[in-house]
Structure 1
């Protein structure tokens, strides 16, 4: 439970894709029809990002409540060291297994689909009414204030409006090619955002990017209770699929329609997408104005680049990391 009514819980989706048991389980559910982007190894790779994510919350988010880590019968190797080193109390970090997350919907397990998992976050027991959701490769880069996410009981959403027309035409055309010519369709982040607005009757969508997002638990729960067929569709795909909506986008657009959101422009993030962005990313880690960061595809960096990133992040979050991580040498 939260320490105060002002605290906000944080939910992190995490998977160790290198786990042989998980790899074997994933292989059992693969089929030729699944899009390659949805099943690629890099989507499930883990390179200790979870520890930097948690360290950033402990360092920069003083109003954070419980940190929930959503996993599939896994546990980060050094997770207990945060409590053992006195960096947080024993109740601060809690592991939520998919079997607990999918209570009442167990028939859809196992799942390897982040959009299905996100659709069930409202089902976490004791989760605060408002909560912050991050992928494990997101982190806070500077001190965060509660007002960054909640402004007078309205949730703050950062992004910009996009017209849905061209995106919807492309979506329908790709489905046509798939149906008549068996052309594989890759799931797209922006398409899922468009669909999350489209099902609510909006002709434009508020596009968001890779950063922590504030969500409203009751909005999620109420919508899926009223539209169980949409939840069923979301959960029915073992891997990400072109027909899925973005749950974060759904929450955002529900709040926008009800005038319960404050819309703000995009903010810069420290973003490592590939090796070409290495120098800028390390520079952005030192910025006093960039509040968030995202590290993608660490598994695709060469050894020297991986070491540079590890050194920079270890320095950034010194004093908030498990000691075992500091002794770890990237390979």
Structure 2
């Protein structure tokens, strides 16, 4: 429980059920209207393998300073999400579903979108959102107890990462653009490139690279910049799938804060990171490692059935007291893998 008077902030999670037949059909329909990079529309990018429930359970267990959990979706809702409140795991108003139509209010012409970078660029538009909030992908989770001091100190954001120069990545990008003019293939919108571009557009020659952690966000500095630079905002949200022209908006916001000296930069943290088969051997013991505060499980749908079952069992064991009984009885054995 949070002590009386202790500051609370919200957590925002972007979620999609890529197995939804209606969403699949809609996604395929719009893929035909854009020259989409293969990695931007791969099925694994939209897959859901119960990560959202582990994520929420980890917040309830380890993040006492969280006020509300906002789940941003496209006309969807995780099937067991209401059971957290029904079974007394959290209060009735703790978890709130926010539709894309809400966050794109005033910009509805850019919907539907299947683009995380577009969605992230509009999170500031969630009604009632705290001035500072934590943003997480649905495959992130808190691995150990967290305090607000991990994210904010004297109203300065704490950002974990490391400096990198733009030059090498920019040279590679220009070379890729040169090749594209001959092969016609859309450039892959790489994560690190989008971070580099977020600094370059602000006139910075280096960028502070961040990893797959929960990230603290200043809603107001982002909102004010985007609304005062409408062309930049539109360029961020007009693509229905990830595009090389987009920046990483979280890193962009970090650089805005860096330029105002409103951030505390700290070295990157250890991460319990499972990326398909890579990291499988270390992932389970690291669930109990107190020095590792955050975790990320990418592309669980690409694991073989036995590996998936092992990971799912370990996550259930870690968070069983904070997971709905309906989920425990339905998963992980009900999840099929080809």
Q: TM-score range by the shorter chain?
A: over 0.9
- 1:48 equivalent in structure 2: 50
1:312 equivalent to 2:314? Answer yes
- 1:19 equivalent in structure 2: 20
The alpha carbon displacement at 1:178 in A equals: 1.7
The alpha carbon displacement at 1:4 in A equals: 6.1
Q: 2:265 aligns with which of 248, 263, 266?
A: 263
Once residues 205 and 261 of structure 2 are traced to their aligned partners in structure 1, the CA distance between those partners, rounded to angstroms, is 17
- 2:155 equivalent in structure 1: 153
> Following TM superposition, where does structure 1 have runs of at least 4 consecutive aligned residues deviating by more than 2 angstroms?
2-5
- 2:240 equivalent in structure 1: 238
- 2:296 equivalent in structure 1: 294
Once residues 96 and 69 of structure 1 are traced to their aligned partners in structure 2, the CA distance between those partners, rounded to angstroms, is 6
Alignment partner of 1:54: what SS?
helix
Asked whether the 8 Å contact 2:11–2:136 carries over to 1, the reply is yes
Spell out, residue by residue over 1:42-64, the C-alpha distance to the aligned partner (whole angstroms, 9 max, x if none). 00000010000000000000000
Once residues 94 and 4 of structure 1 are traced to their aligned partners in structure 2, the CA distance between those partners, rounded to angstroms, is 23
5+ residue gaps in structure 1?
A: none
Alignment partner of 1:262: what SS?
strand
Q: Figure out how many residues of one structure are paired with residues of the other and give that number.
A: 330
Asked whether the 8 Å contact 2:103–2:126 carries over to 1, the reply is yes
Once residues 155 and 234 of structure 2 are traced to their aligned partners in structure 1, the CA distance between those partners, rounded to angstroms, is 31
- 1:189 equivalent in structure 2: 191
Asked whether the 8 Å contact 2:89–2:324 carries over to 1, the reply is no
1:113 equivalent to 2:115? Answer yes
Once residues 83 and 279 of structure 1 are traced to their aligned partners in structure 2, the CA distance between those partners, rounded to angstroms, is 34
TM-score, normalised relative to structure 2:
0.95
Of residues 27-36 and 80-89 in structure 1, the stretch that sits farther from structure 2 once superposed is 27-36
Alignment partner of 1:68: what SS?
strand
5+ residue gaps in structure 2?
A: none
1:135-284 equivalences in 2 (<5 Å): 135-284=137-286
Spell out, residue by residue over 1:177-217, the C-alpha distance to the aligned partner (whole angstroms, 9 max, x if none). 22343133111000000010011110000000101000000
CA RMSD of aligned residues (A): 1.3
Alignment partner of 2:101: what SS?
helix
